[in-house]
Amino acid sequence: MLRTPLLIAARSAACRTFVERTPLTRAMVTRFVAGTTQEETLPVVGDLTTDRLVTLDYLGEDVADAAQAQSTVTAYTRLLTALGEQGLAPRAEVSVKLSAVGQFLPADGQKIALDNARQICASAAAVGTTVTLDMEDHTTTDSTLAILRELRVDFPWVGAVLQAYLRRTEADCRDLAHEGSRVRLCKGAYDEPESVAYRDKAEVDRSYVRCLKVLMNGSGYPMVASHDPRIVKITGHLASVAGRTPDSYEYQMLYGIRTEEQAALAAEGKRMRVYVPYGEEWYGYYMRRLAERPANLAFFARSLVGR
């Protein structure tokens, strides 16, 4: 019931100002966001990579001009250079939201985002790591998959996220289940209309399993992005039915969520990657995490009344 208003609030400037000014918000944000700067975040990455893999997200979305998009590119380049220098690149890649590098800009947004993503991919290639394109709301899916295709000509290891709540995704999984393809399958975090998305949780879960079957039975590299214990269990089963070795797919979870399960999967010898967001632009990301779980919201509400 609260999911939709929270997701609307995630895109409201007025709510953003209110939430950002709430005194205890910052303390709570640290549960989901590893740091506000690269310098704060890299030690966290160093710790996590002792038993897990990492993908880093420099927070930001919907940039308003080309200069902001360029500053996102600069932040990723600086990050990738540091990952190389600190010897973290073999275990840490980056995740990029195309709207943070210009996808929504009115003039030439698609081209600007492609050129900017290319620069990030070149920086990743220089230190020997990879890039995965995050997926935003359904109006961006075609554009993101088109940019993915272009990037893969020069950087065949670029991965993309697909969202099981979209009705189109099973077909997209079939298209992307080929050799060399890396697909991060998640349930989906935006407020989408019934016309394009399943809105019932059980339907989303069933779609996730159908999509996962396609990816596991294909020849690409499935990245199973879910904290759902049932999905984790089904993944092991589907991988074994498909005859996959433990290094031919991976589990992925968000920083701060089901941390013990992350460690347990890693201890079992599974490839486990943690999605680590950092930066000042945490608002949209944080609100989507609140929307996913009412218990998070209750915790937030208690902080508002000072308890």
Nearer Cβ to ligand FDA (122/209): 209
**290: helix, strand or coil:** helix
Given 187, 234, 266, 278, the residue binding ligand FDA (CB under 6 A): 187
What letters, b where the CB count within 10 A reaches 16 and e where it falls short, cover 130-139? bbbbbbbbbe
The window from 2-10, 86-94, 213-221, 285-293 that contacts ligand FDA (CB under 6 A) reads 285-293
Q: How far is the CB of 225 from ligand FDA (least distance, A)?
A: 4
Taking the C-alpha atoms of residue 131 and residue 40, their distance in angstroms, rounded to an integer, is 21
Q: How far is CA 5 from CA 2, 116, 235, 247, 248, in A?
A: 6, 33, 32, 40, 39
Considering only residues 209-228, where is the footprint of ligand FDA by CB under 6 A?
225-228
DSSP state letters, 46-57: HHHTTTSEEEEE
Given 163, 181, 207, 235, the residue binding ligand FDA (CB under 6 A): 163
Taking the C-alpha atoms of residue 98 and residue 95, their distance in angstroms, rounded to an integer, is 10
- Contact present, 133 and 160 (Cβ < 8 Å): yes
CB-facing half-sphere around the CA of 2: CA atoms within 13 A: 13
Taking the C-alpha atoms of residue 116 and residue 214, their distance in angstroms, rounded to an integer, is 31
Number of Cβ within a 10 Å radius of residue 12: 14
What single-letter DSSP state applies at residue 97? -
Catalytic residue among 134, 137, 191, 205: 134
Annotated binding site: 97, 135, 163, 187-189, 201, 226-227, 288-289
Nearer Cβ to ligand FDA (66/167): 167
Q: How far is the CB of 191 from ligand FDA (least distance, A)?
A: 10
The window from 34-42, 45-53, 191-199, 291-299 that contacts ligand FDA (CB under 6 A) reads 291-299
- Contact present, 102 and 116 (Cβ < 8 Å): yes
Active site residue 200: no
Instruction: Give me the 126-145 binding string for ligand FDA, x by CB under 6 A, dash otherwise.
Output: --------xx----------
Nearer Cβ to ligand FDA (129/252): 252
- Contact present, 57 and 256 (Cβ < 8 Å): no
Given 26, 199, 293, 302, the residue binding ligand FDA (CB under 6 A): 293
Nearer Cβ to ligand FDA (118/138): 138
Nearer Cβ to ligand FDA (39/113): 113
Is 99 a residue that touches ligand FDA (CB under 6 A)? no
Taking the C-alpha atoms of residue 307 and residue 300, their distance in angstroms, rounded to an integer, is 10
Is 287 a residue that touches ligand FDA (CB under 6 A)? no
CB-facing half-sphere around the CA of 43: CA atoms within 13 A: 5
Q: How far is the CB of 190 from ligand FDA (least distance, A)?
A: 6
Considering only residues 238-257, where is the footprint of ligand FDA by CB under 6 A?
252-254, 257
Rg (CA), the chain: 18
Measured in degrees and rounded to the nearest 5, phi and psi for residue 92 equal -135, 125
Q: How far is the CB of 164 from ligand FDA (least distance, A)?
A: 8
Active site residue 184: yes
Which residue ranges make up the site for ligand FDA (CB under 6 A)? 134-135, 161, 163, 184, 186-190, 225-228, 252-254, 257-258, 275, 289, 292-293, 296
The catalytic residue positions are 134, 184
